[in-house]
Structure 1
Amino acid sequence: MLPYCYADGKIIPWEEARIHPMDLAFIRGYGIFDFFRVAHSKPLFLDHYLDRFIHSAKETYLHLSPSKEELRLIISQLIAKNEMVTGGFRMLLSGGLSDNHFSPAAGQLFIFAEELIFPSEEKYQKGIKLLTLEHVRPVAKIKTTNYAYPVWHSAIWKENGAEDVLYHRDGYISESSRSNFFIVKDGELITPDSDILEGITRKHVLQLAGRFSERKVRLEEVFEADEAFITSTTKVLLPVTQLDDKIIGSGKPGPVSLDILGKFRKLEQEHCG
């Protein structure tokens, strides 16, 4: 954690940030968050992240006091105050102190500046393993703080040498616990269109792709795919070369995945330029 955060309506040392123990964020696990990266002291794709955060607040009936421009100013001040060159920002809006300990109330806004830990270069070169898991994330289209199930299940991933999971239900896949999921078949990029959070990295990957389809994707299609990968703010594009005990494609990161990753890295540089 970097030294300064936004809490209680002002910029303060992060260790002074406080939240009431009866806030719905604690007693019901109710709140929203978003996370974006900073490179060369500039937030990457900030408009998209702020729009999603504001939309999440509206859809979860949580009052967000600062406007989009005020949020942008707070973030700029935090970058300067923390002398931040690279890292990430976590925006969190809690469920608030509810009269009946259940209904959404006026929550607290926190914005924390953080250091980033990226996956190792070896994972980009060799790919990662995912485990299938029958599950659909609650209120999947909104970035809520409800990650209880995957946090609990994560010990099983580690026991099986996996990086994460791939959710599926009724024979169709949706997403990973913190990432969007893609397959490549015969040169076409394919990604699920339902029961997912529409990620910002996902959005840009689709714009960079030559051919793509957003549709329902059967689990069997993943095992038959030529390539697969996950995308997220902190992973960017991470090739998936194994699902459960089955190898995907050649068992190595494929040309389409690596081409899109290269284009995305270039897009980041242009955005920071």
Structure 2
Amino acid sequence: MSLYDWILTGKEFVDKNDLSYPFEERGLQFGDGVYEVIRIYEGEYYLIDEHVERLYRSAAAIKIDVPFQKQELYAHLHELLNKNSVRNDATMYLQLTRGSAPRDHAFPLNTEANLYAYVKDFARDTDSLEEGASAITMEDIRWEWCYIKSLNLLPNVLAKQNAKELGAKEAILHKDGMVTEGSSSNIYLVREGKVYTHPATKRILGGCVRMKIEEFCKEADIPFIEEAFRIEDFKGADEVFMTSSTSEVQPLTKVDEVTIGDGRPGPVTRKLQASYEKDAGITGTAAIFSGE
């Protein structure tokens, strides 16, 4: 995946090879910050409003002042694409920390937040979107404020690595057997044409694509039920899928040793994949499902 040359740092654009921060940086030393990953299709942001709103919510929740008004941030993010001449499918990573200051657990005084953003090419994973993927289940050992998209991702990283080592695409997390979400995704179960997912409480990250799934379901008269389910419920599921800005609407055809349905992506998932492509403006040869 190609990383573009220009990075937004504060209010300036810097060549990626010249970027540096002091080693006493609170994101590095404490995970004291928040972030967003925004999908880009053919050089255009997808769901940028939802991501920016969530960035500000997350920052407010941990008492960080974003060093931009929203419209100024929008302008800088669009300039980042223009400056890098982005035309491909890509992702933009945006990180905001409390800033650089001598190491102390308490908040530093009179310290401006550090913000940087960069873009890298990111092609759609068409094979797994068409064929489905597998997942494992693991205990959810994260903190209780998962609605904040914070930098404290070590439990997520360990879960994702465990999934990778077992040949799976995702780790589905649960608390006492009750499914919360994936290590980097929201999780859904389909039964009798109804979509079930964990309520948008503080225990999960309210995904930007998750909000769209609710909208797509409403448009297609598919019941969208915010109701937690148990890992045992996968055995009786007709379909299972996950969503995120990088996985889109990803069918999961196997969870642990349980084959979901007939082992192939189901009709509800396919319909939502088509809705996603239409909403994201994915057309022509790039579209997989819109014509189904």
Q: TM-score range by the shorter chain?
A: over 0.9
Q: Is residue 72 from structure 1 mapped to residue 74 from structure 2 by the alignment? A: yes
Shift of 1:136: 4.4
Return the offset for 1:99: 5.2
Shift of 1:178: 0.7
Shift of residue 17 of structure 1? 1.8
Match among 130, 133, 136 for residue 131 of structure 1: 136
| 2:7 maps to which of 1, 5, 10 | 5
Note the C-alpha offset of 1:154.
3.5
Q: Given that residues 24 and 104 in structure 1 are in contact (C-alpha distance below 8 angstroms), is that contact kept between their aligned partners in structure 2? A: no
Q: Is the 8 A contact 2:100 2:114 kept in 1?
A: no
In the alignment, the residues of structure 2 paired with residue 206 and residue 236 of structure 1 have an alpha-carbon distance, to the nearest angstrom, of 14
Q: Which residue of 1 aligns with 2:231?
A: 219
C-alpha distance after superposition, 1:228-259 (max 9, x if no partner)? 00000011110001111111111110000011
Identity of aligned pairs, percent? 24
Match in the other structure for 1:35: 37
Provide the secondary structure at the position in 1 that maps to 2:281: helix
What amino acid does structure 2 have at the position aligned with 1:203?
M
Q: TM-score, normalised by structure 2?
A: 0.87
CA contact (8 A) 1:192 1:217 kept: yes
User: What residue is the counterpart of 1:265 in the other structure?
Assistant: 277
Q: Quote the residue 2:152 is aligned against.
A: 146
What is the root-mean-square deviation in Å for CA atoms of aligned residues?
1.8
Unaligned runs of 5+ in 2: 284-292
- What SS does the corresponding residue of 1:266 show, helix, strand or coil? helix
Report which stretch shifted further, 55-64 or 153-162.
153-162
Contact 2:41 2:282 in 1 (8 A): no
- Which residue of structure 2 lines up, in the alignment, with residue 113 of structure 1? 119
The answer to whether the Cα contact below 8 Å between 2:25 and 2:99 also exists between their aligned partners in 1 is: yes
Aligned to 2:207: 199
Q: Residue 238 and residue 60 in structure 1: after superposition, are their counterparts in 2 closer, same or farther (change >3 A)? A: same
Q: Secondary structure at the match of 1:174?
A: strand
Give the number of aligned pairs.
270
Distance 2:142 2:123 in 1: 24
Secondary structure at 1:208's aligned position in 2? helix
In structure 2, the partner of 1:170 is 176
Rounded Cα–Cα distance in structure 1 between residues aligned with 2:268 and 2:223: 11
Match of 2:286 in 1: none
Matched-pair contact (CA < 8 Å) for 1:61–1:104: no
Contact 1:36–1:44 under 8 Å retained in 2 = yes
Is the Cα–Cα contact under 8 Å of residues 156 and 184 in structure 2 kept in the other structure? no
Corresponding position of 2:46:
44
Correspondence for 1:15: 17
1:241 pairs with one of 228, 234, 253 = 253
Aligned equivalent of 1:231: 243
**AA aligned opposite 1:123:** S
Deviates most, 76-85 or 105-114: 105-114
Unaligned runs of 5+ in 1: none
1:270 deviates by 8.1
